[in-house]
Structures are given as C-alpha cells and as structure tokens.
Chain A
Amino acid sequence: MSDLLKDRALKKEKKMGKDGRPKDSISTVSNVEDPLHHDDTRLPTENTYQLGPYKRHSVPVITEILKDVLTCYLQHETYEAEWSRQMTKTLCDVIRARVKELMIPRYKTVVIVNIGQLSGQGMQISSRCLWDATNDTFATYSFKNSSLFGLAIVYVVYFE
C-alpha cells in the first residue's frame, strides 16, 4: 500500500484567497510516505526484556564522518544545477552507508543533505524533534567553499 503513496507528487495551487484576492503563495508536496496504512502482518516477536541500547551513537564520530564525506566530495567543486541535484542524493546515500557501517544495533537513521549556491542570499534552517533525549541524538556539519555550501544532518533514533 505504501508503494502507491511513494513518489507521488501532489500539486496544490491555491490561487484565490479567502477574500477573493489572488494569493501569492504556492505549495508543492513531494514524496509523502504514509506510515498509517501498513498491514498488521508483522510476526509477533519474543520479548527481549532489554530496557535500553547497549551501545549508543557517538556524536563526534558521526560528525567526523560528515566532515570527511562533505570535504571529500565538495572541496574542489563549483555549483552547477544538475550536478548538485545528483550530488545531494549521492551524499545522502554515502552518509547513510557510512553510519550503517558503525553497526550500532536498534538505531534508525535519517540523513538530510542540502547543497546550495552562494550568492549573498539569506537563509535559515531549523529543526525540532520529539524523541527520547537519553537514547536519540543528531549530528550536523556544514561545509563552504567559494561557490557553494553543503550541509549534512544525521538524526539517529532508537527503536525498542
């Protein structure tokens, strides 16, 4: 069921506002994955009686991975639209693979990569998470050269 929802782009243009004047904002949705529609066909698993993770992620280690990957891939590059589009996806996959290699069990990973052109524009990125602060954490690294900036964020979330 979730396959139908994946890769579906929903375009919603609200051209007219409430009072009849044309609105100047446009919204586009890309890739909605709905976690509500899963079948309850998971096999019942035995209780492990494990109360918390035996091994946690180390933020400096993940930051080092991000620094390594971003510097290696972006250092001598200049911004180009098509190349950047590919590179963000590539970097996401590379970082996810490197974090997986740390082999910390029972952790889910979310990786976000932004690559943008430097042209004096203003920008702000914020995030907020609702999670268990004792087990879950995040790491970020930003890289800049003369023509582009790259930002990588990794969230690691414990799964009981």
Chain B
Amino acid sequence: MEEYNSGEEVITYTYTDAIFQCIEGVIGGTDYNQNKINQWTASIVERCLNHFVKQGRAFKYIVNCTIMQKSSAGLHTANSCYWDTATDGSCTVRWENRTMYCVVSVFAVAVA
C-alpha cells in the first residue's frame, strides 16, 4: 500500500511539477505586463505541449492557459468533459505571484 501510494505520488508529481516548471520558466519573477502577456501565454502553452508530446504517448493534448492581473476582481473557471474516464485525464495547476494569477489546464485524450 505504501509503495503504491508513493508510486502514485511520483506520477502526479511529475505532471504537476512539469507544468509548474513551464509556468515558472516563463513568468517566474516577473510582474504583470500588458505588452508581454500575449507572448507569455503562448510560451507557456507551447512549453507545456512540447513537454507532454516528448513523452511519446498516444494522446491528443489540449492545453489552456489563463493569466489575469491581480485586482479586486474574482474569476471562476470550471470544466466538464465527456470522455472515457479509464483512458483520458486532465490536470490543472493554479499559480500566482504578487501581481498576477495563472491557471494552466492540460487535457489528455486517448487516440484509439
């Protein structure tokens, strides 16, 4: 049971850690900048996608990234999927720093 649990941890830790590293690599240590945000979201999405593709698994991937400036405003995100729960899955990582929020969702859909 212990071994099973720690194995589980490693797999999920790898996914979330990879996404976290993608985000951190692009916007870690920066403040919100309206001029660069387009480039940032594109980079984060590109990096995440490349990382998952390199694993060479038979999945189609959908990567969604939202960056929002920190203000008093609220934001809610939800997703609903119609798929085969045995073969398909998703992962959402929420990241924030002093000036902005970033939410990245990755959906992996089995090919066949």
A interface residues with partner B (beta carbon < 8 Å)? 2, 4-5, 8, 10, 12, 24-39, 42, 79, 81, 84-85, 87-89, 91-93, 95-96, 99-100, 108-132, 136, 153, 155, 157, 159-160
Q: CB-nearest residue of chain B relative to A117?
A: B73
Q: How far is the CB of B52 from chain A (nearest CB, A)?
A: 8
Q: Which of A33, A42, A95, A113 has the most CB of B within 10 A?
A: A33
CB of B72 within 8 A of chain A?
A: yes
The answer to whether A31 and B92 touch across the interface, beta carbons within 8 angstroms, is yes
Interface of A: prevailing SS? mixed
B80 touches A93 (CB 8 A): yes
The contact of B8 among A4, A85, A114, by CB within 8 Å, is A4
A10-B12, A27-B93, A121-B68 are known contacts. Are A91 and B85 too (CB-CB below 8 A)? no
A-B contact pairs, 18 of them (CB 8 A): A27-B95, A27-B96, A32-B12, A32-B91, A85-B76, A88-B76, A108-B81, A109-B81, A110-B80, A112-B105, A114-B66, A114-B77, A119-B71, A124-B40, A125-B67, A129-B60, A130-B60, A160-B111
